Amino acid sequence: MVNRKGVFIGAYVPNDLKEKLRRRAVAEHRTLSQEITRILEEAVNGRRLPPGAIDRRGPNSPSRRRTSDPLPRRRRDDLPHPSEENPAGEGE
């Protein structure tokens, strides 16, 4: 048997509610147990902020790369960008 770090809480849950929780857990790539734990944590501790909600950059920091890089944005090792003279993007 798996060594679980927690306490089993038994409660009656209507089948339709359990099925909704199971579908939500699958959609979020979690187990039913993980989804119930997440809901209980939010109920006790409050909602967590979504990833990226806090901007840790300083007030005078430069803009992020996406806004400052010219188009087309390509990495050094990418295939060459296709152009009118070179529609297949070969050689350059």
- Residue 60 has a pLDDT of 80
What pLDDT digit, counting tens, does each position of 33-91 carry?
Answer: 889 988 888 888 888 777 666 667 777 877 666 666 666 666 666 666 666 666 555 55
**How far is Cα 88 from Cα 76, in angstroms, rounded to an integer?**
18
Report pTM: 0.48
**Residue 2 scores a pLDDT above 80:** no
In DSSP notation, 8-67 reads -------HHHHHHHHHHHHHTT--HHHHHHHHHHHHHH-PPPPTT-S--S-TTPPPPHHH
pLDDT digits 0-9 by tens, 7-38: 778 888 899 999 999 999 999 899 998 899 88
What pLDDT does 82 receive?
67
| Distance between CA atoms of residues 65 and 76, nearest Å | 15
Dihedral angle over CA of 29, 30, 31, 35, nearest 10: -140
Top pLDDT among 6 and 75 is at 6
Q: Any residues with CB less than 8 A from the CB of 66 and at least 6 apart, and which? A: 73
Identify the three-state secondary structure at position 89: coil
